[in-house]
Amino acid sequence: MRLIDTLLHVLTFPSENPAFPHTHAQIEDEERRIRSTFAPLPRPLIIVGGYHAPHAQPVALHQRLLSLLGPEAFAASPNARPLCLSYMMGIDTDQILDALAGQIEAAGLLDPATRDRTVEVDLIGISMGGVLCRALCQPPRRRQRRSLIVHAKRIFTLGSPHNGATLARDINLDPAGLDLLPNSGFLRTLNTSTSVHPDELTCYARLRDFWVGATNAAPPGHPIIWTPGQLAFTHLCLSQDRRILVDLCRRLRGEPPLARASTPPSD
């Protein structure tokens, strides 16, 4: 991981962000502080991977969080176990949402008082996974058969195409890809719904993200926390951005965040 982190740092284009001004050395200091202090996570954590991404993607993010937060953070409470979800072979958004709901139900996260809602959880979504996290908190629509609604306290999204994906204009592999088109019916419904919302939605993005676009990484009118991008593979390396991970860990533990949301200067 250290070799990868060093390489990614070298490939990153510098870009000043007054809302997230911390230097590389300050981020390293904060990583050491987080590793040396114990704080249990307050609720179960669910990580949802990206569009056609292998299961290794959300698992890798969990491993990075584990290396920072320590195993005690996840083991302190019987409800604090992380759940990593993927849908690599899914091609239809409604079927993907049904499958994800089934995995969450099978993990035993149902609220016994309601049976159609989960206990209160925190969600992390990578790329399309962030959009799916928001949809799982809404009542089922279109052709979805799920009855489960996720009761999210907080949702954290990493480079998620809440306002559409730039790449979707040129490449549409399947119905799920069409749902990621800017102004698609799926996204319009999700972005205009007022039925169920988490208490907190935190959207992270990186510049030079030519797949989604940093300015698309939040619902319309919602602020974005952005970091510099890389020479190449910016979108694929979102979940390895140490600046994002440090801020995310602080928020997961209930500590004051390092970053403030602002408007990305570009995609």
What percent helix, strand, coil does the chain show, rounded to 5? 40, 15, 50
Q: How far is CA 144 from the centre of its chain?
A: 22
pLDDT at 9 over 70: no
Please, what is the angle between helix 128-136 and helix 185-192, to 10°?
Answer: 50
Q: Tell me what the mean pLDDT of segment 136-150 comes to.
A: 94
Does residue 221 sit within a domain? yes
pLDDT of residue 152: 94
Phi and psi angles of residue 149, each rounded to the nearest 5 degrees, phi first = -120, 130
Q: For residue 97, is it within any domain?
A: yes
Specify if 230 maps to a domain: yes
Interior CA angle at 130 toward 139 and 80, to 5°? 85
The candidate with the shortest Cα–Cα distance to 122, out of 4, 254, 235, 267, is 254
Instruction: Over range 90-117, report the average pLDDT.
Output: 94
- Assign 56 to helix, strand or coil: helix
Query: Stretch 2-29: mean pLDDT, rounded?
Result: 80
CATH of the domain at 248: 3.40.50.1820
pLDDT bucket at 8, cuts 50 / 70 / 90 = low
Q: Does residue 180 fall inside a structural domain?
A: yes
Q: Is position 114 within any domain?
A: yes
Tokens linked to 48:
């949802």
Using pLDDT thresholds of 50, 70 and 90, give the confidence band for residue 209. very high
Residue 261 lies in a domain: no
Determine the structural domain holding residue 195 and report its residue range: 2-252
| DSSP states along 209-261 | -TTT-GGGSSSTT--BEEE--BSS-TGGGGGG-HHHHHHHHHHHTTPPPS---
Number of domains observed in the structure of the chain: 1
State yes or no: pLDDT of 81 exceeds 70.
no
Per-residue pLDDT reduced to its tens digit, 36-76:
998 989 899 999 999 999 999 999 999 999 999 998 888 75
pLDDT at 82 over 90: no
Does 4 score more than 70 pLDDT? no
d(CA 81, CA 112): 18
Distance of CA 257 to the CA centre of its chain: 16
Q: Is residue 259 part of a domain?
A: no
Average pLDDT, the chain: 91
Question: Quick one: which of 261, 254, 5 has its CA closest to 157?
Answer: 261
- Band the pLDDT of 91: cuts 50, 70, 90: very high
The pLDDT, as a whole number, for residue 64 is 94
CA distance 55 to 50: 9
**Could you tell me what percent of the chain has a pLDDT over 70?**
92
Residue 263 belongs to some domain of the structure: no
- Segment 164-173, tens digit of pLDDT: 999 998 888 8
pLDDT in tens, 219-242: 999 999 999 998 888 999 899 999
> What pLDDT does 74 receive?
82
Helix (H, G, I), strand (E, B) or coil at 190: helix
Identify the pLDDT of residue 14: 75
Q: Using CA atoms, how far apart are residues 169 and 184, in angstroms rounded to an integer?
A: 11
For residue 6, what pLDDT band results from cuts at 50, 70 and 90? low
Mean per-residue pLDDT for 84-106? 96
Q: Indicate the pLDDT class of residue 198, thresholds 50, 70 and 90.
A: confident
Nearest to 103 by CA among 68, 73, 128, 129: 129
